[in-house]
């Protein structure tokens, strides 16, 4: 039997909502307008909207229209707890720890040092305060880098570094090579800069050197974005042989490497960055977001001083410089050992949540790595990643679909990403994972357990 028209329209719209192309609070087109646009009756559109409401994706306001619902509203607008809020296994965050207490410690310290406080309120060089760069460079040595502060600048997180670098080295129409599944923040940046994104085949270790070599040749690519350690979303991590092979292709094809070690920052001993093999052809981007507070917006970018000057010019055009108070907080924590303590606590949270996940989901063949809060879960053939996420959403659980990470025209695999850190409590995490298991167990996608 052919799929009813309203059903197809509702599926398209739910996909648009679940992939974030329509945001919470956005108004859907009036029934008559959409009906005209799609060449269907207003009754068909009404049935499609009603179906979205049943799935919890939209809400109709009488006399006003239909709006996209908040997908992870844990609190109501008046601040009260929403008992019906979905369990969030989607958001990619660190588990909050003692950051607010540690923050008060920094403020106490600054209160006793008015000169330093005054300095932080002044304009600073675009590359950042020298003291912050020195501490950042020292921390980046965890990834095998030189520790030379001249090669390091401060950014407002890795996304800011990525934007500064891409605006410096890419022009509209340029080809950007990356893993076939990649960080969505890169995809939105590439869209805004009108770059052509080419997804390169991956295996269990991540980016494949042969495929990279072919893609660089075929598409005349000059830029490569790559996360060799704890790749988002697949968790894959390269061996040292793979890193060397990728570095060799970068050199042979004269590529510029943008290496993301944002998730690797949680590891006590991360593998050496590929960038260490390519000191003049790489940009290494690290951040504090996944190890303690993303709201600090602190990241460090390492590259050759000549490249850093160019990126700094782009940042100057944006906002003059990074606000110095934020790196002051992060670098005080790095210098006095607080950062290492917070990162240790983060690893303990992740280990606890991983154990819980293993108890509930063991045998499902998902990919995971120690010290990493993501699971990459392949799905049986009756599901696509978005139909599974939509069905999970119906039973009150949010996850990320493979489609959200797809680079270029690569087909989306049947898989979802589960973030273990975003559920507020272990009890919520247990409930969420149990619902994932129950949905997988209900072989018939038509009968959904609640
Ligand atoms: C792989 C990867 N890179 C970069 C970022 C952005 O990090 P930041 O908060 O430092 O901008 C994220 C955030 O989700 C990420 O997953």
Measured over all CA atoms, what is the biggest interatomic distance in the chain, rounded to whole angstroms?
76
Task: Specify whether 319 is located in the same domain as 365.
Answer: no
Question: Quick one: tokens of 445?
Answer: 């996608």
Residue at which a domain ends, from 285, 309, 339: 339
404 lines ligand 1 (CB under 6 A): no
- DSSP per-residue string spanning 35-103: HHHHTS-HHHHHHHHHHHHHTTSEEEETTTEEEEPPTT--B-TTS-B-TTPPEE-----PPP-SHHHHH
Of the listed ranges 56-60, 147-151, 157-161, 350-354, the least confidently predicted one is 56-60
- Would residue 450 count as lying in a domain? no
Do residue 253 and residue 274 come from a single domain? yes
Residue-level pLDDT at 195: 97
Cα 201 to ligand 1 centre (Å): 22
pTM metric for this prediction: 0.83
> Is residue 150's pLDDT more than 60?
yes
| Cα separation values, 35 from 28, 205, 354, Å | 12, 47, 47
Region 249-255: mean pLDDT is 97
pLDDT for residue 147 is more than 70: yes
How far is ligand 1, taken at its centre, from the CA of residue 2, in Å?
42
Instruction: Assess whether 10 and 52 both reside in one domain.
Output: yes
Span 362-390, pLDDT tens digits: 999 999 999 999 999 999 999 999 999 99
- 60 pLDDT band, cuts 50/70/90, is confident
Expressed in angstroms and rounded, the spacing between residue 160 Cα and the centre of ligand 1 is 10
Res 19 pLDDT > 60? no
- Picking from 217, 185, 211, the residue whose alpha carbon sits closest to that of residue 199 is 211
Least confident of 14-18, 318-322, 395-399: 14-18
**Ligand 1 close to Cβ of residue 287 (< 6 A):** yes
The two tokens of residue 406 are: 């797809």
| Identity of the highest mean pLDDT range in 9-18, 35-44, 188-197 | 188-197
User: Would you state the pLDDT for residue 68?
Assistant: 86
Whether residues 214 and 299 fall in one domain: yes
> Helix, strand, or coil here: 21?
coil
CA of 181 to the centre of ligand 1 (A): 14
Mean pLDDT in residue range 400-422: 94
Query: Do residues 322 and 185 touch, judged by C-beta distance below 8 A?
Result: no
Q: Which of 273, 305, 339 is the last residue of a domain?
A: 339
Task: Detail the DSSP E strand segments found in 98-195.
Answer: 152-155, 175-179
Asked which of 95-109, 187-201, 202-216 is least confident by mean pLDDT, the reply is: 95-109
Give the pLDDT confidence score for residue 448 in this predicted structure: 46
pLDDT given at position 80: 45
| 390 and 326 co-located in one domain | no
- Give yes or no for residue 240 having a pLDDT over 80: yes
Centre of ligand 1 from the C-alpha of residue 24, in Å = 22
Can you tell me the distance from the alpha carbon of 154 to that of 157, in angstroms, rounded to the nearest whole number? 8
Both 195 and 287 in one domain: the answer is yes
Is pLDDT at 77 greater than 50 in this prediction?
A: no
pLDDT computed for residue 409 by the predictor: 85
Confidence tier at 3 by pLDDT (50, 70, 90): low
Confidence of residue 186 (pLDDT cuts 50, 70, 90): very high
The number of folded domains in the chain is 3
- Residue pLDDT, tens place only, 113-142: 999 999 999 999 999 999 999 999 999 999
- Structure tokens that stand for 300 in this block: 């460090």
Q: Which atom of ligand 1 is nearest to the CA of 227?
A: 1
Percent of residues, the chain, with pLDDT higher than 90 = 77
Evaluate: CB of 29 within 6 angstroms of ligand 1. no
Q: Please determine, for residue 108, whether its predicted confidence score (pLDDT) is greater than 70.
A: yes
- Sole residue written with tokens 């009488």: 62
Please report whether residue 119 resides in a domain.
yes
In a domain, 317, yes or no: yes
Higher pLDDT, 121 or 54: 121
Q: Are residues 32 and 15 in the same domain?
A: yes
Is 76 part of any domain?
Answer: no
What was the pLDDT predicted at 348? 96
Classify residue 375: in a domain, yes or no.
Answer: yes
- pLDDT attached to residue 14: 75
| End residue of a domain, out of 291, 309, 339 | 339
Q: Is residue 75 part of a domain?
A: no
Alpha helices, DSSP H, located in 320-371: 325-336, 338-361
pLDDT higher than threshold 60 for residue 73: no
Asked if residue 374 is part of any domain, the answer here is yes
Q: At what angle do helices 42-54 and 5-18 cross, to 10 degrees?
A: 50
d(CA 54, CA 448): 13
Check pocket membership of 185 for ligand 1, CB cut-off 6 A: yes
Report pLDDT digits (tens) over 78-107.
444 456 789 999 999 999 888 989 999 999
Q: What's the mean pLDDT when you consider all of the chain? A: 91
Same domain, 162 and 57: no
Q: Does 285 reside within a domain?
A: yes
Distance 159 CA to ligand 1 centre (A): 6
> Is ligand 1 within 6 A of the CB of residue 93?
no
> Do 269 and 371 reside in the same domain of the chain?
no
Q: What is the CATH number of the domain that holds 320?
A: 3.40.640.10
Do residues 318 and 173 share a domain?
A: yes
**Residue 265 or 409, more confident:** 265
Consecutive H or E run containing 414:
none
Statement to judge: residues 151 and 206 lie in one domain: yes
Q: CA 91 from chain center: how many Å?
A: 8
CA distance 267 to 276: 18
Q: Are residues 400 and 334 in the same domain?
A: no
Domain that holds residue 44: 5-68
Residue 355: give its domain's CATH number: 3.90.1150.10
Q: Is the pLDDT of residue 227 over 60?
A: yes
Q: Which of 181, 206, 287, 374 gets mutated to test ligand 1 (max ligand atoms within 8 A of its CB)?
A: 287
Please give the pLDDT value at position 48.
Answer: 84
């Amino acid at each position: 039997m052919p799929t009813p028209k309203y059903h197809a329209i509702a599926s398209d719209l739910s996909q648009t909502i679940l992939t974030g192309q329509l945001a919470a609070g956005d108004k859907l087109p009036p029934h008559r307008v959409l009906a005209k646009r799609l060449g269907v009756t207003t009754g068909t559109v009404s049935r499609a909207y009603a179906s979205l409401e049943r799935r919890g994706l939209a809400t109709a306001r009488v006399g006003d229209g239909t709006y996209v619902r908040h997908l992870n509203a844990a609190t109501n607008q008046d601040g009260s707890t929403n008992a019906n809020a979905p369990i969030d296994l989607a958001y990619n965050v660190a588990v909050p720890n003692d950051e607010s207490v540690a923050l008060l410690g920094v403020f106490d310290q600054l209160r006793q040092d008015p000169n330093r406080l005054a300095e932080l309120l002044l304009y600073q060089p675009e590359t950042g305060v020298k003291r912050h760069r020195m501490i950042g460079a020292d921390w980046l040595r965890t990834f095998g880098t030189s520790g030379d502060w001249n090669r390091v600048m401060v950014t407002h997180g890795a996304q800011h570094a990525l934007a500064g670098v891409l605006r410096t080295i890419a022009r509209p129409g340029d080809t950007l090579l990356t893993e076939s599944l990649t960080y969505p923040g890169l995809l939105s940046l590439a869209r805004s800069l009108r770059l052509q994104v080419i997804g390169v085949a991956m295996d269990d270790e991540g980016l494949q050197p042969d495929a990279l070599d072919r893609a660089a040749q075929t598409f005349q690519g000059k830029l490569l974005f790559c996360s060799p350690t704890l790749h988002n979303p697949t968790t894959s991590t390269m061996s040292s042989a793979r890193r060397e092979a990728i570095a060799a292709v970068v050199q042979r094809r004269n590529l510029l490497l943008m290496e993301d070690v944002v998730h690797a920052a949680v590891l006590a001993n991360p593998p050496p960055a590929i960038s260490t093999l390519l000191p003049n052809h790489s940009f290494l981007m690290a951040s504090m977001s996944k190890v303690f507070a993303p709201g600090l917006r602190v990241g460090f970018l390492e590259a050759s001083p000549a490249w850093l000057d160019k990126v700094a010019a782009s940042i100057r055009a944006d906002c003059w410089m990074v606000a110095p108070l934020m790196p002051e907080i992060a670098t005080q924590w790095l210098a006095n050992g607080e950062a290492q303590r917070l990162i240790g606590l983060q690893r303990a949270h992740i280990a606890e949540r991983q154990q819980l996940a293993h108890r509930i989901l063991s045998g499902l063949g998902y990919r995971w790595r120690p010290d990493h809060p993501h699971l990459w879960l392949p799905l049986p053939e009756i599901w696509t990643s978005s139909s599974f996420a939509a069905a999970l959403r119906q039973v009150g659980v949010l996850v990320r679909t493979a489609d959200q990470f797809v680079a270029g025209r690569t087909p989306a695999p049947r898989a979802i990403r589960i973030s273990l850190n975003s559920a507020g409590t272990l009890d919520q995490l247990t409930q969420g994972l149990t619902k994932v298991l129950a949905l997988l167990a209900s072989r018939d996608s038509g009968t959904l357990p609640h």
